[in-house]
Amino acid sequence: MTQLKISAPVHGQPLTIGSGFQAQHFGEQMFAGLIDPVVMVDHFHMTATTFEPHPHAGISAVTYMFEDAASPHVNYDSMGNQGPIVPGALHWLAAGRGAVHTEQPEGVNPHVHALQIFVNLPASKKMQAPFAVHAEPADIPEYHAPGVRVRVAAGSSNGIQAAHTAALPEAFTLLDGFVDPGQRFAHVLEPGWNAMLYAISGPLQLQAAGQTADIPAGSAVGIGLDATAVQGAELQLYAATGCHFVLLSGPALKEPLVKHGPFVMNSSEEINERIRAYQRGEFGQLTDDWLRNSRQPA
């Protein structure tokens, strides 16, 4: 029995909202369970305020800003956090039992290039109090090898560890990597962990445990290593023509998953209870600062 499973490549689904938000969308259902605990990924470009304040519960809503973003993405939440998520930064909202937030591009001619990631919380932590973890670009360490640069935005790889990982609700790895033509990068996937490997620009070849997967640009694969494996699996990434990739990875929860928009719980009853809690005002609310700033001319 093969302990390492790799899905077929999945191309992101185009998603457009209004005139200022375009994304490639990936959902967990596209990967046959192999990206658990990741629930959803939007690789997006945003040039105008698009989303009103909205609630989350049962997940972490994670924003990772690519370095080539041209303006900050400003966060406002019901816990009183407010401030820019600048290019190269990570902002992790562990919504727990419920929080309200919005994030919007601000400034003259804004252009945000980022990932929005929903990471599931285990049943034991879905009702914990919400909190946020923020890492500035200078807080994110990098791995370097000839023709390879990888930002370790969360977790660890090749002996490089992001210090803020200890503050996250669960173990998780987020790698933002650049591989020059003809070069390789290797990362070890631990037993019981799943991963999503996304070739953002340029194709990527994955070699692991005797298997090979060719990932076209704009596509991703899910990878899962059984918890019974006696050791981790080395993922060898080869970029014949150069590639910008992202790897998202965490321990598989293997729990019931019920989704309702920005709520992810273990049952429909829990979803309905969180909706009622939000309607009762238990998630809190934002100050008026976000409204004033969202109405400023770009």
| Cα(202)–Cα(214) distance, integer angstroms | 11
| Cα(157)–Cα(172) distance, integer angstroms | 11
| Cα(202)–Cα(275) distance, integer angstroms | 42
3-state helix, strand, coil in the chain (%, to 5): 10, 50, 40
> Has 106 been labeled as part of a binding site?
no
Q: Are residues 92 and 118 in contact, defined by beta-carbon separation less than 8 angstroms?
A: no
Residues 6+ apart with CB under 8 A from 220: 9, 10, 12, 26, 31, 41, 196, 197, 198, 199
> Has 54 been labeled as part of a binding site?
yes
> Has 101 been labeled as part of a binding site?
yes
Q: Are residues 130 and 57 in contact, defined by beta-carbon separation less than 8 angstroms?
A: no
Annotated binding site: 54, 56, 101, 103
Annotated binding site for Fe cation: 54, 56, 101, 103
